[in-house]
Amino acid sequence: MNWKKAVSVLLISAMTLSMAACGNSGTNTGATSGGGNDSAVDSTEGGSAAASGEKLVVWTLSNDLIDFGERFQEQTGVQVETVVIEPANYPTKVQTALLGGETEPDIIVGEPKMLEDFYDAGFFEDLNQAPYNAQDYADQIVDYVWEVGQDSEGIQRAISYQITPAGIYYRRDIAKEVFGTDDPDEIGQLFKDYPTILQTAQTLKDAGYRIFSSDAEMNVFSGDSAWVVDGVLNVDQARYDYMDLCVDLYQGDLTAYASQWSTPWYQAMAGEVPILTADIQSSVDDSVNVWDATEFAEATEGMEKTTVFAFGLPAWGVLTMRDNVGETSGLWGVCAGPAYGFDGGTYIGISSQSERKDVAWEFVKFCTLNEDTADWWIEFSQGDTVSLKSALEKHKDDENQIYGGQKLYEFWLEQAEGIDTSKVTRYDQAIGDAWGNAISAVKTGEKTKEEAVNEFYDVIESTYPDITVNRE
């Protein structure tokens, strides 16, 4: 009996202790953050007005804002806590936090395709009202970026520090050899429309090269209009043309058959890759054992190797190329694609529930509207393209050595001027994925074009009952 009592007393005290421990840890956290604040105050005595020993919590999609946050902290003394969340989980995390009434994060961001939902949900603070008066800064930022940051009523909600117009990155040495010129304007003509691209691809193949690494390189330029117009699914002719282009490129063995963002796709930026065929890629052909590494290397050794001519990427592709070009650095050029296009971009805004909106607004201005920051970012990122017009103007004569000294900022600004932001909808991700699946099914011969397009319509109908689907 006594023994049992002893055990129960022990258990109860253990439980009480653990509860007390929880309580303590809570207090400790408070104390620590308090300490952090104190040190922040110390470091900024006599510093910026914004630095009242405050802290700023930033939830972002890419690592860029970590660097921005550190610089902001250095300059203002405000302690910046940056949390990077994977794009697939980002909207859910933000929704959960904000719908739960959390006052942190102070800064939230979004890619264009996420923004419409965030605007409707009221997650972003209205930046047109006092004390922000964002409209006063409208002419300082590239127009399309400014527009993407506005909700359906034209109220400014977010601003991006970068522009992301698309271009075609091509090899100057190959251009000279095959086409006798490496001039961006003339090479741009070889990509002016899909029939011309197919011709260019054939010419390159005949010369022993491949036009693209994957067949999806023109995706960033595809589509003349939005996927959904006034609640009706809109598959314009340009979408079908793009599908045909992908199928022709794939079935005509005109690419290097690497999937976008896969290792061989990156490898093709640095030089030679073995020429595969559609059959090998689709694993039907058994002449080459593509999965036994040694056997594959032997088999492809006998085969010709090729060099890929071009990649279709937005302006941030400069950073991707920077990390992957290796010895081909200096041999690249950038020219216009068959249409104007853009992809991605991190748009920064203030959470409507933040309790530190003043500091948050300082941070937004620091990242987007501050010329010093823009100068630093251009230098630090080695060539990212900022959205601040004055910085673009200032750097328009900067020569990028990876591109043989081409003046890229001037080029990107021109491309940005042609961008039509009305093409962006909240449906882009899901509809784009479904269209991509349809293209895959057609090019590999799994479905006929009609079957694949019908399946695509089915998917859209079942996913978005609000959208009217007019089958053709």
Partner 1 sequence: MAKAAVTKKKRMKNYNNAGYFFVLPFVIVFLIFSIYPVFRTLYLSFTNFKGFGTPEPVGLQNYARVLTDKFFWRALWNTVRIWGVNIVLQLGLAFLLTIVFSDIKYKMRGLGIFRAIYFLPNLIAATSVSFLFKTLLDWRYGTFNQVLNAIYQFFGISKEPIDWLGSGNYAGYVIAVISAWMWFGNSFIMLMAGVQGISKDYFEAAAIDGAGRWTVFGKITLPLLRPILLYVAITSLIGGLQMFDLPFLMADKASAAYNSVQTVVMYLYKFGFETGTTQVGYASAIAYVLFLIILAVSLIQMKLFNRKGD
Q: Which residues bind partner 1 (CB under 8 A)?
A: 87-88, 90-92, 95, 98-99, 113-114, 117, 120-123, 283-286, 289-293, 296, 426-430, 433, 436-437, 440-441, 444, 446, 458-459, 462-465
CB of 443 to partner 1, least distance (A): 11
Residue 247: CB minimum distance to partner 1, A:
16
Q: Residue 321 carries which side chain, given as an amino acid letter? A: M
Q: Which is nearer to partner 1, 285 or 379 (CB)?
A: 285
At 429, give phi and psi (nearest 5°). Answer: -60, -55
Nearer to partner 1, 4 or 130 (CB): 4
Q: Which is nearer to partner 1, 292 or 393 (CB)?
A: 292
Nearer to partner 1, 110 or 317 (CB): 110
E-strand ranges in 269-326 read 272-274, 305-314
Residue 328 CA to residue 270 CA, distance in Å, equals 6
For the record, the structure tokens of 5 come out as 């009592």
- Min dist CB 173 to partner 1, Å, is 32
Q: Which is nearer to partner 1, 47 or 87 (CB)?
A: 87
* Nearer CB in complex with partner 1: 74/458: 458
Closest CB 378 distance from partner 1, rounded Å: 30
CB of 433 to partner 1, least distance (A): 7
Shortest separation between residue 465's beta carbon and partner 1, angstroms: 6
Distance, in Å, from the CA atom of 359 to the CA atom of 374, rounded to the nearest integer, reads 19
Task: Report phi then psi at 66, rounded to 5.
Answer: -65, -45
Nearer to partner 1, 70 or 285 (CB): 285
Q: Is there a contact between 203 and 350 (Cβ–Cβ < 8 Å)?
A: no
Min CB(426)–partner 1 separation in Å? 6
CA-angle at 234, arms to 228 and 239, nearest 5°:
115
Burial of residue 323 (CB within 10 Å: 0-12, 13-18, 19+) is exposed
Q: Strand 332-335 vs strand 166-171: parallel, antiparallel, or unpaired?
A: antiparallel
Closest approach of Cβ 260 to partner 1, in Å? 10
| Distances, alpha carbon 33 to alpha carbons 53, 68, 84, 92, in Å | 11, 21, 20, 27
Q: Which is nearer to partner 1, 11 or 31 (CB)?
A: 11
CB of 87 to partner 1, least distance (A): 8
Q: How many CB atoms lie within 10 A of CB 348?
A: 25
Buried b (16+ CB within 10 A) or exposed e, 368-378: bbbeebbeebb
Residue 271 or 432: the one with the smaller Cβ distance to partner 1 is: 432
Cα angle at 435 between 429 and 437, to 5 degrees? Answer: 100
Torsion sign over Cα 289, 293, 294, 296: positive
Quote the least distance from Cβ 35 to partner 1, whole Å.
Answer: 33
DSSP 303: S
**Which residue in this structure is represented by tokens 């490898």?**
267
- Tokens 């784009």: give the residue: 432
Helix axis angle, 317-324 relative to 263-270, nearest 10°?
70
Of 283 and 470, nearer to partner 1 (C-beta) is: 283
State the virtual CA torsion across 267, 273, 277, 282 in degrees, nearest 10: -30
